[in-house]
Amino acid sequence: MFCYQCQETAGCSGCTKSGVCGKRPETAALQDLLIWTTKGLSAVTTQLRREGKTVDASVNHLITENLFTTITNVNFDDDTIRARIEATLETKALLAQLADCSALPEAALWNGTTDEFAAKAVTVGVLSTENEDIRSLRELITYGLKGLAAYTSHANVLLKENEEIDAFLQRALAATLDDSLSAEELTALALETGSYGVQGMALLDEANTSAYGNPEITTVDLSVGTRPGILVSGHDLRDLEMLLEQTVNTGIDVYTHSEMLPAHYYPAFKKYEHFKGNYGNAWWKQKEEFEAFNGPILMTTNCIVPPKDSYKNRIYTTGAVRYPGCPHIDGVIGETKDFSLLIEQAKHCAPPTELEQGTIVGGFAHAQVLALADQIVDAVKSGAIKKFVVMAGCDGRAKSRSYYSDFAQALPKDTVILTAGCAKYKYNKLNLGDINGIPRVLDAGQCNDSYSLAVIALKLKEVFGLDDINDLPIIYNISWYEQKAVIVLLALLSLGVKNIHLGPTLPAFLSPNVAALLVENFGIAGIDTVENDMELFFGK
Ligand code: FSO
Ligand code: SF4
Residue 446 belongs to domain with CATH number: 3.40.50.2030
Arithmetic mean of pLDDT, 125-132: 98
- Angle value at C-alpha 337, between 334 and 342, nearest 5 degrees: 165
Q: How confident is the model at residue 527 (pLDDT cuts 50, 70, 90)?
A: very high
Please state, for a pLDDT cut of 70, what percent of the chain lies above it: 100
Q: Which atom of ligand 1 is nearest to the CA of 258?
A: 5
Last residue of a domain, one of 211, 227, 250: 211
> Does one domain contain both 428 and 321?
no
Picking from 87, 92, 100, 93, the residue whose alpha carbon sits closest to that of residue 48 is 100
Q: How many domains does the chain have?
A: 3
> Does one domain contain both 506 and 384?
yes
Which of 8, 71, 305, 394 gets mutated to test ligand 2 (max ligand atoms within 8 A of its CB)? Answer: 8
Asked if residue 319 is part of any domain, the answer here is: yes
Q: Tell me, what's the pLDDT at 475?
A: 98
Q: Tell me, what's the pLDDT at 244?
A: 98
Q: Which amino acid belongs to residue 422?
A: C
Q: Which atom of ligand 1 is nearest to the CA of 483?
A: 7
- Domain of 259, in residue numbers: 218-347
Q: Which residues form ligand 2's pocket by a CB distance below 6 Å?
A: 3-6, 8-9, 15, 19-21, 23, 72
> Does one domain contain both 439 and 387?
yes
> Does one domain contain both 230 and 205?
no
pLDDT higher than threshold 70 for residue 521: yes
Q: Where are the beta strands (DSSP E) in 20-104?
A: none
> Does one domain contain both 497 and 534?
yes
- Which whole-number Å values give the CA distances from 134 to 126, 187, 190, 512, in the listed order? 11, 9, 12, 12
Q: How confident is the model at residue 540 (pLDDT cuts 50, 70, 90)?
A: low
**491-509 pLDDT tens trace:** 999 999 999 999 999 999 9
Asked if residue 4 is part of any domain, the answer here is: no
| Residues in a beta bridge with 361 | 219
> Does one domain contain both 136 and 252?
no
How many other CB atoms are there within 10 angstroms of residue 336's CB atom? 10
Q: The dihedral of CA 38, 506, 448, 304: what is its sign?
A: positive
> Does one domain contain both 245 and 309?
yes
Report how far ligand 1's centroid is from the alpha carbon of 305 (Å). Answer: 13
> Does one domain contain both 379 and 339?
no
> Does one domain contain both 241 and 179?
no
Asked if residue 3 is part of any domain, the answer here is: no
**7-38 pLDDT tens trace:** 999 999 999 999 999 999 999 999 999 999 99
